[in-house]
Structure 1
């Protein structure tokens, strides 16, 4: 008698991967190496094997060639692991893919322009953790509170904590928390609670209009619309077994 298989051979779940952004203002390897040496002070553990997205949006690339394999090796020598390239022109795509990197479209142009206009002029040749990037909660905190609107293309990550947002979360924005997520305003973007596997986490919104919700990697989208009982109303998202349940905050 054959043994009944109790587990699926493969599952697809939403996963949260935090990556730093490496913004290049030059592509000359010797200049980049020198800038990285100055940034890290020669400390071998300045970076901790983080994933990295290379952003070439501010580089004047006309007439210049990027040696992608050498650039990847350079960053790896500083314990950064490049996985994708952002803002690359289409003609660079074949070389980028040949180097084992993916193409990352990054934030929508309007959101990116707004962020760039509000940001100070870049100084270092290589920067890490520019906006939009995850906002980690302080180690001692149990709750990360955000009082400003979360714009399209932005990601807020409450590592090891609950996340409270008191302003609107726009379409195209992403909230991630290892605990629960509370939005005291319209939630129009993506919300991923229990990111580290906490199946008891929940998502609460004063006005439920989300693009996607996820609890512990199990997710639901709303291309076919919402139940009228929760759309534009206070609602909560919880995990019941292996299914997402979306119900009013106070069903009574």
Structure 2
């Protein structure tokens, strides 16, 4: 009994929460649903129940009459959990709060990343992006990353010396270096750094992203690089996969 009385019923600790940004360029529900359908390419788990911040900064004034509950339900249909709204003008904020969403206040103007090409699963009506910030330092992980685990190197590069298994997710604001097989999801430049890259000693990921531009490999990773040393980089608005073997690039 004494032990139970001394234990607090709840503890609050600082935790790292990763959220994607859903940047609205239109507010018409049909247009948004079509864009999300094209973005995900019909892949049911393209988004793995990530938290999402809805960015309305790009909307014209006549597009700001939004049914927030319907928008949240639409995002939920695609496994995105809306938690806040960014760049909301004052006149929108009461309805946003009434719907259960938070208001995210941004202290500085945000620079958006380029829209991905048709080959990349995304679309103009909604995009995953964030404000560019420079990464400094690195996080080093020496143990395998197992299915269901998520590692986030905030403000730094991520270096992993063990396997990243299928179903795992690794995220870095800078570049990602995996000195072992990479078989899960890898998202570099998570804060918008378009120069970030993903390197792996054995490249065979499920999904990759640079600065919010995604590419999935539901049809299999390119055979010429699968299981070999390779890098992922953003070339303009396209995700490129390049061999790290000098002989194959000559």
Q: Whose radius of gyration is greater, 1 or 2? A: 1
